[in-house]
Amino acid sequence: MHLSQVIPEVDTHTHTVLSGHAWSTLSENCSAAKVLWMKGLCLTEHAPGIEGGAPSFIPHSQRMLPDVIDGIRVYKGIEVNILDHQNHLDISSQHLMLCEFVIASIHSHMFSERAMYNANTDTYLHMLQNPHIDILGHADDPSVPCDFEALVSEACKQGKLLELNNNSTTAHRPGSLPSLKRYILCCKEHRQRVCVASDAHFHTMVGNMGPLMTLLEELEFPPELIVNLTKERFEAYLRERSARIVQFAAKSGGVN
């Protein structure tokens, strides 16, 4: 398989105007995905910790949306903000429970202690232990340094995913390419499952992961580790997710 020629069937990281600094609507994003013969996208709005982001109750409101828009399966989710090294988030667990897919991210411009390598690592590890969080967003960002080996080890232990973000190949996240390569090779070495994502903030970005896919081909990354390469494989992960959350609820007596 030539990954450089492949468009993943599901884009796991997309934003609409509700994120406050994106420019397209959900309908526009779905239409763009349809043109590329994709099958799904994750609606992962920025949470309110980002200036102008969606309100904290957005997972509740997303339930009013249809599951399929213009032939594209829309998985309702959120990109929750990690607010500090005390592991505070800007979305409550009660609202995270309503999501189909949850990204947890540190955004360097709003994280004053981002240079703290050990603390960043510990915080990411804590996020991977949260049953409602599926994946870490752009954790390769060199402005928020962390221990990739530790992240991969914990993600594997928890059955979680790690994100490879196409914006790390662009000027949007300057200086990220060497870090991204190390992150990819670490995932490859330990056979850690990943999602490739556009992090789209405009409809023309949906499914547009050419530079990232080319890099993965150059680094001989195993296609079978890319969970969102096919809709079938992504939905198999979502079934794992559901079982995990049921198991957590049973162990905690239904208290989240």
For the chain, give every domain's residue range: 8-251
What is the mean predicted confidence (pLDDT) over 233-249?
96
- Mean pLDDT (whole number) for 86-99: 96
Q: Indicate the pTM of the whole model.
A: 0.96
24-41 mean pLDDT:
98
Check residue 163 and give its pLDDT: 98
What are the pLDDT digits (tens) for 179-222?
999 999 999 999 999 999 999 999 999 999 999 999 999 999 99
What is the fold of 8-251? TIM Barrel (3.20.20)
> What pairing do the DSSP bridges indicate for beta strands 72-81 and 40-46?
parallel
Residue 235 contacts by C-beta under 8 Å, 6 or more apart in sequence?
none
3-state secondary structure of 50: coil
Half-sphere exposure of 62 (CA within 13 A, CB side): 28
The Cα–Cα gap between 154 and 209 comes to: 26
pLDDT bin (cut points 50, 70, 90) of residue 256 is very low
Which residues are bridge partners to 94 per DSSP? none
Residue type, 58: I
For the record, the structure tokens of 215 come out as 């890099």
Tens of pLDDT, residue by residue over 112-150, are 777 799 999 999 999 999 999 999 999 999 999 999 999
Phi, psi values for residue 25, rounded to 5°:
-90, 170
Residue 163, token pair as written in the block: 């994100």
